[in-house]
Chain A
């Protein structure tokens, strides 16, 4: 949602900027619909829904440029459509038509988003071939991003382990610090 808002702010063409704003408004509405759904389910099982997760932001418009940004959104909307179709089928099978109807509404919007971004991409790229090339480039970029994310997760685990080992060596320092840097209370002179 924030990436779409940023795209609207950055894009000089008012028609495309308006399309991005409308898209962001749809995503915001989706977030509210899903939040209501989560609250309904939580209430049903006597549990508590978490507060809504804050929208993430990757600055994709600036990083990728408008053409690849559109290609990325187009692919993402396609993925979302397929995911929501799976959810709708699941809830229909479970006999929960209300929940399935929520996903049906989402699917309708996602399909529209997929279609309009496809059209804009083609317009911006200049031809269907150029648009397909942009989609291929973005697919490669996404694969590279997944690889880097996996690498970061692995490095994070290694870092956690090594820091835990380092932490254990700090035990003697703890005694020293408690001795020479005791917690002080009350008013202190400046730079004390």
Chain B
């Protein structure tokens, strides 16, 4: 029996996760506490919070596991810098400073930060962390595991076979051939920031026609065995990660879109970019289907687990599910690098001989809400504070009246999705409300869809009965007869990224109340954060959000806060 801390850091989405006696006690992304989106720094705050939640001191940790091999990473970076000579001149000083200045010493830094002897700090492979985060959290006895991201040490894509406590790599694809970096290059081409704009590309894709598939397929070739290779002259990630595509890509697809907002999908220019996004999405799905088929063939399993940044592509996950190859599918809710911290902790726990964790049913693994502190701040700010007996009833009433309300309850979520613990909620039918949230609350592009949260028993969607919908990691078709009632949460392609809420879930009281009042148990659920900000974590963050954004009320558990009338 052991206490193991897993840590990811220094690339993007730093995080910490604590596993005690094999069970996940806490998992926190640093950005939630530092308030810096995609914070890559050593997650000191997240580590402290995990230890506090576990009730243990740093020296009591049996192991601290870093999510990747820092020396193998250094080797790959150096080899690529030299291989790219002389085109890597600009990148060389920066990459060397990054590697030698901080990344190489991460294990020593972790030992100092956690006050543990250096020999208790170890590492596992990047893709092993991803695979463990999905397989061990899935609760499946056996499964194929597919990990797809930008790049780890050397590997960009890997197929794993999980059986009981064993997790074995079957085959892998190496850098620079990377589906994650392929998607990133086109994300940059479309004018979105890499590592955070990929969701926007996915949303945009539904508005376009995939009329550039032929051109996009010239960028990536797919073999009959499911492997793929990039046409490297079109990419620059192996030379200069600041602009991950080469000028030849612009010759193929036309000039890139400038990095600015103000999308107008009625204009010919922006429609063309939407078509490129649609083509990118179509080709990405094709590659992923090939990988999925290969994983089934190699492992002979009926269940699939997914992790790595590319696994956040909910539309592609939906497509894999539709194929019927798999009887069960699970995607680690924090599929990106943050999830690596959890995977590293689970690998460490396995090495310590601990039992497997309980299947992941809930991602409320963050710091609990301090309602008293929120109330004290609200009173000082002159906000109206009211304690209510039945918050679900009051909230349901407000939503039915067309109001936009925020809900904060319990511990905040693990991963990039708000699943009710820190959510912004509204009626799912009112398109004008959706526009209001996009324009005046979230300040984001009009094509960004909103997701519905519903009870598991719903009949408004097809194909919700799987292990992904509780975590919003896939999309499901909205039934034709329900589209009007769900107009604000149905994407232009007729799908929705549904969250099915289990009994005891944060949104269950609200949804049950709506059902009890004779309404469909569905709400529009979006993350409680402003533009470019991490999702709200603490009561202070929530009150700050209420002060700065045009919402109608904030529920801190059973206390409702409102602006003065």
- Chain A residues with CB under 8 Å of B443's CB are 32
Cross-chain contact of A190 among B35, B81, B172 (Cβ < 8 A): B172
Q: Is B96 an interface residue (CB 8 A)?
A: yes
A186–B225 CB distance below 8 A: yes
Q: Is B171 an interface residue (CB 8 A)?
A: yes
A51–B97 CB distance below 8 A: no
Question: Known contacts A54-B36, A181-B79: does B227 contact A22 (CB below 8 Å)?
Answer: no
Within 8 A of B (CB), among A52-76: 52, 54, 57
- Chain A residues with CB under 8 Å of B300's CB are none
Q: Is A160 an interface residue (CB 8 A)?
A: yes
| A127, chain B: closest CB distance, angstroms | 25
A5–B548 CB distance below 8 A: no
In the bound complex, how far is the Cα of B258 from the Cα of A50, in angstroms? 9
B170–A25 CB distance below 8 A: no
B82–A173 CB distance below 8 A: yes
Q: Is A164 an interface residue (CB 8 A)?
A: yes
- Chain A residues with CB under 8 Å of B484's CB are none
The stretch among B244-252, B350-358, B538-546 that forms the contact with chain A is: B538-546
A190–B544 CB distance below 8 A: no
In the bound complex, how far is the Cα of B379 from the Cα of A48, in angstroms? 43
Nearest A residue to B230 via CB reads A185
Q: Is B169 an interface residue (CB 8 A)?
A: yes
Question: Known contacts A9-B538, A21-B544: does B35 contact A187 (CB below 8 Å)?
Answer: no
In the bound complex, how far is the Cα of B533 from the Cα of A24, in angstroms? 13
- Chain A residues with CB under 8 Å of B171's CB are 187-190
In the bound complex, how far is the Cα of B193 from the Cα of A28, in angstroms? 21
In the bound complex, how far is the Cα of B308 from the Cα of A50, in angstroms? 30
Question: Known contacts A177-B79, A187-B225: does B547 contact A6 (CB below 8 Å)?
Answer: no
A54–B547 CB distance below 8 A: no
B89–A49 CB distance below 8 A: no
Q: Is B166 an interface residue (CB 8 A)?
A: no
| B369, chain A: closest CB distance, angstroms | 13
In the bound complex, how far is the Cα of B88 from the Cα of A177, in angstroms? 14
Cross-chain contact of A17 among B89, B223, B377, B547 (Cβ < 8 A): B377
Binary contact track A156-176/B, C-beta < 8 Å → 1, others 0:
000110011001001101100
- Chain B residues with CB under 8 Å of A185's CB are 173, 177, 227, 229
Q: Is A94 an interface residue (CB 8 A)?
A: no
Within 8 A of A (CB), among B65-111: 79, 81-83, 85-86, 88-89, 92-93, 96-97
A21–B377 CB distance below 8 A: yes
B259–A25 CB distance below 8 A: no
- Chain A residues with CB under 8 Å of B35's CB are 2, 5-6, 57
Size class of B's contact patch? 35 or more
- Chain B residues with CB under 8 Å of A171's CB are 85-86
Q: Is A134 an interface residue (CB 8 A)?
A: no
- Chain A residues with CB under 8 Å of B262's CB are 39
- Chain A residues with CB under 8 Å of B83's CB are 174, 177-178, 181, 183
Nearest A residue to B39 via CB reads A57
Within 8 A of A (CB), among B133-179: 158, 169-174, 176-177
Cross-chain contact of B548 among A28, A181, A188 (Cβ < 8 A): A28
Q: Is B261 an interface residue (CB 8 A)?
A: yes
| B432, chain A: closest CB distance, angstroms | 22
In the bound complex, how far is the Cα of B91 from the Cα of A160, in angstroms? 10
Within 8 A of A (CB), among B220-254: 223, 225-227, 229, 232
B193–A51 CB distance below 8 A: yes
Cross-chain contact of B93 among A15, A21, A22, A163 (Cβ < 8 A): A163
Q: Is A44 an interface residue (CB 8 A)?
A: no
B97–A21 CB distance below 8 A: no
| A97, chain B: closest CB distance, angstroms | 25
- Chain A residues with CB under 8 Å of B482's CB are none
Q: Is A107 an interface residue (CB 8 A)?
A: no
Nearest A residue to B97 via CB reads A159
Within 8 A of A (CB), among B370-420: 373, 376-377, 379-381
In the bound complex, how far is the Cα of B262 from the Cα of A9, in angstroms? 34
- Chain B residues with CB under 8 Å of A22's CB are 381, 547
| B260, chain A: closest CB distance, angstroms | 4
Question: Known contacts A15-B380, A22-B381: does B259 contact A170 (CB below 8 Å)?
Answer: no
Question: Known contacts A178-B83, A186-B227: does B548 contact A159 (CB below 8 Å)?
Answer: no
Nearest A residue to B372 via CB reads A14
B93–A9 CB distance below 8 A: no
Chain A to chain B: the 6 pairs with minimum beta-carbon distance, closest first:
A18-B380, A163-B93, A190-B169, A174-B85, A14-B376, A185-B229
A residues apposed to B, CB below 8 Å: 2, 5-6, 8-9, 14-15, 17-19, 21-22, 24-25, 28-29, 32, 39, 42, 48-52, 54, 57, 159-160, 163-164, 167, 170-171, 173-174, 177-178, 181, 183-190, 192
Question: Can you report 24 A-B residue pairs in the complex whose CB atoms are below 8 A from each other?
Answer: A2-B35, A9-B540, A14-B379, A14-B380, A25-B547, A39-B261, A42-B260, A48-B258, A48-B259, A49-B260, A50-B259, A50-B260, A51-B259, A159-B93, A163-B92, A164-B92, A167-B88, A167-B89, A167-B92, A171-B86, A173-B85, A174-B82, A188-B171, A189-B171
For the A-B complex with A17-B380, A173-B82 known, give 11 more contacts whose Cβ atoms are closer than 8 Å.
A5-B35, A18-B377, A22-B381, A39-B261, A48-B258, A54-B532, A167-B89, A170-B85, A187-B226, A188-B171, A192-B172
